[in-house]
Structure 1
Amino acid sequence: MARRIVKAGADAGTGAAAVAAAVAPRMTLPRTLRSELARLARSPLAAAHLACALAGGAACGAYFSVAAWDPALGADAVAQCLGALMPLMVGVACGLAVDEERAAGRLANLTAVPSRGRAVLAKLAALVAMGGLALGVALGVYGAAMAAVGRLALGPAPLALAWAGALMGSVPLYALMLALALRLGRNAAVGAGAAGTLLAFFSVGGLAHGLMTGQLTGAAPAGLLGWVPTSWAARLGSLGVESTIAAGRGAVETARVAAAAGPLVAAAAVLSVAALVALALWFGRFEDGRDDA
């Protein structure tokens, strides 16, 4: 009788565990992403992104709305500037986000979960979404300021293309900087981002080069610097504006911009997929030995 009772209890326990497992919510990427977005929305990072976006867009709009530069080339310079700053901004955002995770529980939200790969990809996607929103706000504020004084020469479509290009070029950077911040800490990510921003400015010949010469510097040959991933956000963002400028200059310029954009878009897409897969696989075996935040 006792054995029957024990067996019945064991069977009941097994059944209860099976029912609990069946009704327990699975750790899917969309659910994990919603959780990450909810946590980041309450983080100081969200306010910092918004403040930087408003300040950057307002500063660019205030300057180019009264400057004597060609407003079309001014829009190109703004796209280049915001894109070139993305490596630094990504490094800072990823470094601070990892610091928050360490302070909240030594990365428990990323490591003590059923799927580390989904957790880190959700973190990455949330950071990309926040960066994309900030970039959109900056370009939107700039465009609104230019439109208010009648100097939005190219219209809003090139700014939308610049946003898409700069964000696409930034995705591999998010994966790299997040991995750096996890392995080596915030300072490594920020330092790598600062170096990447310098390379990005050099890849387009400097911020004022196109303004002074009238050249489409995003489409100009940049040698090896043009193929460094930290330069892609600046160049792809610039090419979004230059595609419209080139359309007004003739078939030769249009073809030159298209020839520059095609390989960069392909390279950014391939590297983005490869970086996401590599990040998920690497983080599945990640061990955090850092004691500092």
Structure 2
Amino acid sequence: MGISYCIFVVAFLYTGAMAYANLSPNFYASSCPDLLSTVQDVVCDAVSKETRAAASLLRLHFHDCFVQGCDASVLLDDTSTFTGEKTARPNAGSLRRFDIIDEIKKQVECICPGVVSCADILALAARDSVVALGGPTWTVPLGRRDSKTASLRLANSDIAPGSFNLGQLISNFAKQGLNLKDLVVLSGAHTIGLARCVTFRGRIYNDTNINPSFARALQRKCPRVGNNNTLQQLDLVTPDIFDNSYYKNLQCLKGLLHSDQALLNGGSADSLSKTYAADTKTFFADFAQSMIKMGNIKVLTGSQGEVRTNCRKVN
């Protein structure tokens, strides 16, 4: 689409006024001074080759933080004696581009072996993915450690499906210490990325708060039976740009997922959704703040956990 990746001039930089646990943006300043540029280079290269990679990396960070906290548990592979989170219902056939994290880790291990956690790499890659598609940047607090465990059970229970209504979404986010504002603004991540037919089929055939022509167009791609893995852009207007079109779509009853349209459906989330639809600057500022807040969920620091040398398995 003629987009030049990773060279946007971003007008807003959120530095984060709040201190989070023992995390610090300068955590690797002396132990791995080239970390930030190394992560950024790999992310920019990946996004230049596949725009969808940006949404995939952002999604990895979300799904990691909502299960056991931001500890890179989502990256662990199954073994004969260990069950990870990759086969959980919200993750199987959905999470992807683990190979980009592998490449970042490989390059980081070359310049500063045994120093940088996979959890921190996930947080940085998520930020750089947003920036690569024109979204806001923010200063990422660092110093997370990697877990030695994973939880298939929590992955199945704590990651909200696209069928959730507003009340269920509020409860789901509250469990992680996130409020209504965090819910609405972080859902704006759906301004990029794709969803599978199986995740929005119920909406396009059963919901009444949907634009009729929008529903009919989607029904042609996603029949009542079959085509479960057919992909649809979450934002039909500017799918390759991180902007506030997601909220504008909700005003036209064109939220792809049931959980998307729930944010503008006569409930307590309406005011925020309308604000973000009208004001990109406010959306960007609040998104950056909530990403920092989310990135602090139940982090391991100090002597907790470990720093994995291979993100896919414990040391």
What interval of TM-score do these two structures reach, taking the shorter chain for normalisation?
0.3 to 0.5
The TM-score with structure 2 as length reference comes to 0.31
Larger helix fraction of residues = 1
The TM-score with structure 1 as length reference comes to 0.33
Which structure has the greater CA radius of gyration?
A: 1
